[in-house]
Structure 1
Amino acid sequence: MEDRAEAAVGEHVELEYELTREDMRQALKARAKASGRARRMRGFALVGVAAFVGASAVPLAKGEGPDTRSWVIAGLLVVLLFVLQPWLLARQFHRIASRNGACRSRVDDSGVTVSNTGGSSRLNWTAAPHYAETADTFVLLSGDENVSCLTVLPKRGVRAPEDVDAFRTLLDRHIRRL
């Protein structure tokens, strides 16, 4: 198995897949960890939740009844920002990505080519200088602070299980893992 992985690196790795909502959810989560803007937004959200919790704790410290309105607003903020928003965003990205059906990708020493019924695109390694690995995907990320571009490559799309290791080796050789 090791020999196959090393042999595939010198050549190429091919994938065939259809993106799922879960692929997009994992990719967007990986992107959020790499994006300065997303980290700042999470920080602002946590400060907002803390403010509402703090506002409801003040009456408790004075021996008064809890301010249930602040607790409800804090709870809604948590649900909206940390549960519903990522789910809706992944759903929206999946809807856009799935319009063109199944994808075929080829990863080699010069970069990545992704093709589907809508056309094809070619990324050299400088266009996606970073990647993140999730449980089910490799996510290629642009190098700008906000990580404005991403390419999702599901591991299930490889032709043979040992190709996942070959794929990882190829990525490690050309770009930096986050």
Structure 2
Amino acid sequence: MEDRAETTAGEYVELEYQLTREDFRQALKARAKASGRVQRTQRFAVMGVALLAGASVVPLAKGEAPDVRSLMMGGLIVVLLFVLQPWLTARQFHKLASRNGAYRARIDDCGVTVSNTGGSNQLNWTAAPHYAETPDTLVLLSGDKNVSCLTVLPKRGVQEPGGVDGARALLDRHIHRL
């Protein structure tokens, strides 16, 4: 039997899954690429680190001792913003989501319905007009400039063979891929 990459009207894809920290890490990374605010913050941090490194290199070029404090502050910014902060944020999202147990999702022509022990949420396509794909997830993203909302759909939760291709086809039909 051949997997189909296209779906026809009236078809749907169902998923059942438990969210993991890695799901959130990938989803937040995809969100960061889509969010102008996150990109501006990262650019600002890189410029700050460059200035701090420059403050240390200039004395070195003059034959003086480098400014160790500036180098340490630059290193701390890199570790906090690019290593520790994404890990802590994914950890916090996972902690909140794991309280709701197993998730079920259904993607169809009307939108996406996600349910768990905490309740059910129906997203129409205008609520999540964009999506991004990571190696392990499909991430629905809100359309506001800060991409304030996201919905994580792990590919491993697809119940049918070819379901990931079907989900991708449904998403491509209704919303824009980033």
Bucket of the pairwise TM-score, normalised by the shorter protein: over 0.9
Moved over 2 A (4+): 1-10
Distance in 2 separating the partners of 1:161 and 1:134: 19
Identical positions, percent = 75
Residue 177 of structure 2 aligns with which residue?
A: 177
Q: 1:125 to 1:3 in 2, by over 3 A?
A: same
Residue 77 of structure 1 aligns with which residue?
A: 77
Q: Partner of 1:65: helix, strand, or coil?
A: coil
Residue 46 of structure 1 aligns with which residue?
A: 46
Q: Give the TM-score normalised by the residue count of structure 1.
A: 0.96
Q: Give the TM-score normalised by the residue count of structure 2.
A: 0.96
Q: Partner of 1:112: helix, strand, or coil?
A: strand
Distance in 1 separating the partners of 2:9 and 2:131: 17
Distance in 2 separating the partners of 1:58 and 1:3: 60
Q: 1:85 to 1:3 in 2, by over 3 A?
A: closer
**What do you get for the CA RMSD once the two structures are aligned?**
1.4
Q: Is the 8 A contact 1:8 1:163 kept in 2?
A: no
Deviation track 1:87-129 (CA, whole Å, cap 9, x = no partner) reads: 0000001111111010000000000000000000000000000
**Runs of 5+ unmatched residues, structure 1:** none
The alpha carbon displacement at 1:76 in A equals 1.0
Residue 138 of structure 1 aligns with which residue?
A: 138
The alpha carbon displacement at 1:141 in A equals 0.2
Deviation track 1:6-47 (CA, whole Å, cap 9, x = no partner) reads: 457641000000000000000000000000110111011111
Between structures 1 and 2, the one with greater helix share: 1
Distance in 1 separating the partners of 2:164 and 2:9: 11
Q: Is the 8 A contact 2:7 2:170 kept in 1?
A: no
